[in-house]
Amino acid sequence: MSSTSSAGSAASTLITVAPTGAELSKEDFPQLPTTLEELVETATACEAAGAAMIHLHIRDTDHRPTLDHGYLKAAVDALREQTSLVVQLSTGGSVHDPLEQRLTVLDAEPDSCSLTCGTTNFGDDVFLNPWGFMSDLYVQAQEREVVPEFELFDLGHVHALRRLIDTHGLPFGGKVHVDFVTNVPGGMPGSPAALMAAVQLLPPEVTSWAATGIGRAHLPVMAAALSAGGHLRVGMEDNVVFARGQQVQHNRELVERAAHLAQVMQRPTMSTDDARALLGVKDRRTR
């Protein structure tokens, strides 16, 4: 496959686990990790299964999404103490979170933060990411030495990433890692063809890319990404069906299957040290 990007084909696979998200309720999915204790248990199990990064949405004591600093900082600190995972905080939050509050996520000093490159319809809701917000988040992440992961839901988001780099230079660390979030109702479809079209258009500054398929696009997008040299994101934020009629009971199951497939494809899972080098994150480990 040819590509204008320098991301190339990777010899090993970065697996990111997105264990919780902001959309599912604890009532409907009691196995969703929402407490700090459950989060640490999940992170530890997923690291052992081959994950090297965790994409975090935090819940409060009522299991509802929160951007409260105390909760975010406690989660970042606990995961640093008890795992070696690269800790990425979501700045997307939930569709109901105000933009100003989404910027305060950086106060919790994560290794990485998500940065979605444009507004998108999100089911019946709108996930708001106007240029001013993206731009502020980009610059604040540079200043605080936090590495953004660019979440691309659509081809237009690839174009917006070009504008961010042209306007503000490279992110902290000098690497550009993107994650294609496919099959969101309102974004690009979760098909190999759509994924490959987007990969072809990546700016040459992109050094690595990953992909995830929401819901039933989970497996086709995983297989397409692996075969094209991409990395993987899995987790209950994106998919709660393990197989027909079989609900995911623990995020570890999704990481284990992704790691197995990566191994079969001769692209074994990446260590957390290698993930840090790939992403250019600052080493903030405390253990």
Binding site for Zn ion (CB under 5 A): 90
Instruction: Tell the smallest beta-carbon distance from residue 268 to ligand KMH (Å).
Output: 27
Secondary structure element (H or E) that encloses residue 277, with its range: helix 272-279
- List the beta strands (DSSP E) in the chain: 15-17, 53-56, 58-59, 65-66, 86-89, 112-116, 120-122, 125-127, 147-152, 177-182, 208-213, 231-234, 241-243, 246-247
Q: Is 16 in the site for ligand KMH (CB under 6 A)?
A: no
Task: List the one residue from 3, 66, 112, 116 that touches ligand KMH (CB under 6 A).
Answer: 116
Q: What is the 3-state secondary structure (H, E, C) of 68-106?
A: CHHHHHHHHHHHHHHCCCEEEECCCCCCCCCHHHHHHHH
Instruction: Tell the smallest beta-carbon distance from residue 180 to ligand KMH (Å).
Output: 12
Q: Residue number with the shortest CB distance to ligand KMH?
A: 92
Q: Is 22 in the site for ligand KMH (CB under 6 A)?
A: yes
116 binds, among ligand KMH, Zn ion, none (CB under 5 to 8 A by kind): ligand KMH
- The answer to whether the Cα torsion of 113, 37, 34, 216 is positive or negative is positive
Nearer to ligand KMH, 139 or 261 (CB): 139
| 271 secondary structure, DSSP code | P
Classify residue 98 as left (phi > 0), alpha (psi -120 to 50) or beta: beta
Q: Is 95 in the site for ligand KMH (CB under 6 A)?
A: yes
What contacts 205, CB < 8 A, 6 or more positions away?
Answer: 6, 165, 170, 176
Distance of CA 148 to CAs 100, 113, 248, 280, Å?
17, 5, 28, 10
180 binds, among Zn ion, ligand KMH, none (CB under 5 to 8 A by kind): none
- Binding residues among 128-187 for ligand KMH as defined by CB under 6 A: 151
Q: Residue number with the shortest CB distance to Zn ion?
A: 90
Instruction: Tell the smallest beta-carbon distance from residue 114 to ligand KMH (Å).
Output: 3
Q: For strand 53-56 and strand 58-59, is the pairing parallel, antiparallel, or unpaired?
A: unpaired
Q: Is 190 in the site for ligand KMH (CB under 6 A)?
A: no
Q: Is 127 in the site for ligand KMH (CB under 6 A)?
A: yes
Q: Is 114 in the site for ligand KMH (CB under 6 A)?
A: yes
Nearer to ligand KMH, 89 or 267 (CB): 89
CB neighbour class for 246 (10 Å; exposed up to 12, middle 13-18, buried from 19): exposed
Q: For strand 231-234 and strand 241-243, is the pairing parallel, antiparallel, or unpaired?
A: unpaired
16 binds, among ligand KMH, Zn ion, none (CB under 5 to 8 A by kind): none
91 binds, among Zn ion, ligand KMH, none (CB under 5 to 8 A by kind): ligand KMH
Nearer to ligand KMH, 123 or 204 (CB): 123
Instruction: Tell the smallest beta-carbon distance from residue 273 to ligand KMH (Å).
Output: 25
CB neighbour class for 14 (10 Å; exposed up to 12, middle 13-18, buried from 19): buried
Q: Is 94 in the site for ligand KMH (CB under 6 A)?
A: yes
Nearer to ligand KMH, 24 or 261 (CB): 24
The residues of the shown chain that bind ligand KMH, judged by CB under 6 A, are 21-22, 90-92, 94-95, 114, 116, 122, 127, 151
